[in-house]
Structure 1
Amino acid sequence: MILDQLKNAAIYSGMHAKLRTAFDYLLNHPVIDWEPGRYEIEGSDMFLLLQHYETREAKDGFWEAHRKYIDVQYMLQGGESMGFTHVDRLNVKEPYDPTKDFVMLEGEGDTVTVHEGCFVVFFPQDAHMPCLSCGEPKWIKKAVIKVLVN
């Protein structure tokens, strides 16, 4: 897992061939003005999910992980708390669904606050619990770029 401000993204661009493309996309497109939905960047190899939702309490959250895609989650407006831990520290709650690239997990982990202008990168070994409120639930806007692992 990586947590930083988008202005520092170049530091991490060499970690995966497509991370630079993802960061450049966020830096060069006015995604904050776009409507929620899916936007193709490189077909199924890389796409953006623009989300607008109200954060929730941790008791209403759930752990998730992905095998095929890296998540680059960029906070456009507002902030949220996110749970994170290694997938090996959790138990499978619902089996992996390869069509959705999604496994639901359960257990305990740590949390971090992701502020406006910051991004988090979750690799396949990084279970995460996004969408959590920092105190009171608030509406946020977030861009999630899904980057194919291979």
Structure 2
Amino acid sequence: MIFDRIEKINEYGLDLNFIVDDLKQKKFVKGKYNIDEPNFFGIDLEYITKDSKEGIWEAHRKYLDIHIILEGKEIIEIADINEAESTKEYEDDYELFNSIAQHKIYLRPGYFLILFPHEVHKTSVKTDEAIAVKKKVFKKLL
């Protein structure tokens, strides 16, 4: 996992200029959109955060998950895939799991989180209270 301020997003050798370009455009259209599919695509999301017990654990095999909050805040729970139990077989680049959080990241505007395939994660977890979140998730083919 990489968690840092948004202005440092290109300091990790992953060539994420497409994210910088996307954020500069300041457009938000709920749903999936192409950047350079299948290499890069984005998903604009809006939702209300919830209790951790209501969330689902997932992991991906082909893509990095890059999370950026535009409005609101959330907790993202993370665990190592070797410590998780698969509950739904891998399909369409995701697999579902049961797990226990080993890390919790407080994600808010101005920061980004990159998750790798071995990192099972649960998003949309509320901080103090349930609030609306506006978020971009980018997928980068490994």
Q: Is this a same-fold pair by TM over 0.5?
A: yes
Letter of the 1:11 partner, please give it.
E
1:41-91 CA deviation, whole Å, 9 max, x = no partner?
102211110001101100101110000111111111111000011111111
Alignment partner, residue 36 of structure 1 = 30
Taking only the aligned residue pairs, the percentage that are identical comes to 27
Letter of the 2:94 partner, please give it.
F
Q: Point out the structure with the larger helix share.
A: 1
Alignment partner, residue 123 of structure 1 = 116
Alignment partner, residue 5 of structure 1 = 5
Q: Point out the structure with the larger strand share.
A: 2
- Give the SS at the match of 2:50: coil
The answer to whether the aligner puts 1:145 opposite 2:138 as a matched pair is yes
- Whole-Å separation in 2 of the counterparts to 1:46 and 1:118: 20
For structure 2, the 5+ residue unaligned runs are none
State which of 100, 107, 113 in structure 2 corresponds to 1:108.
100
Shift of residue 29 of structure 1? 2.1
- Whole-Å separation in 1 of the counterparts to 2:139 and 2:63: 6
State which of 5, 14, 20 in structure 2 corresponds to 1:24.
20
For structure 1, the 5+ residue unaligned runs are none
Paired residues in the alignment total 141
- Give the SS at the match of 2:16: helix
Shift of residue 126 of structure 1? 1.1
- Whole-Å separation in 2 of the counterparts to 1:72 and 1:26: 13
RMSD of aligned residue pairs (Cα, Å) = 1.3
Q: Is the 8 A contact 1:52 1:142 kept in 2?
A: yes
TM-score with structure 2 length normalisation?
0.93
